[in-house]
Amino acid sequence: MKQRDILFLSISVFALIAFWIGFNIFHNLAVTTISEPIEKNIIPISPSFDVKTINVIKNRQNVAPLYETEISSSSSFQDITKVPLETFESSPSASEVSQ
């Protein structure tokens, strides 16, 4: 290829890419819109922090409970697991469904 052909090709590719980018920008500006109710809901959040409130939260008193419960294995749970399944009766609606 001659130098002139390479120059023509590179200018053509550059023009095509520039046109493509410009068309995409125009398309996004013309077609993509946000409805008014959604626009009201997407108000940007202020980047400044309320330092006073953060310090108040850091300096809060820790509240301890007045009483604490202990979870231990109870004998009632063990008694329930020993009950045979034959002692339980099915409800009338359950036996009607199975028939």
> For residue range 36-74, what is the model confidence (pLDDT) as tens digits?
888 888 888 778 878 898 889 889 888 777 777 766 555
Fill in the amino acid letter for 92. P
User: Is residue 76 over pLDDT 60?
Assistant: no
For residue 57, is it left (φ>0), alpha (ψ between -120 and 50) or beta?
A: alpha
What percent of the chain lies above the pLDDT cut of 90?
Answer: 24
81 has pLDDT over 90: no
| DSSP character at residue 66 | S
How far is the C-alpha of 29 from the C-alpha of 56, rounded, in Å? 46
pLDDT for 41 equals: 82
Q: Tell me, what's the pLDDT at 85?
A: 59
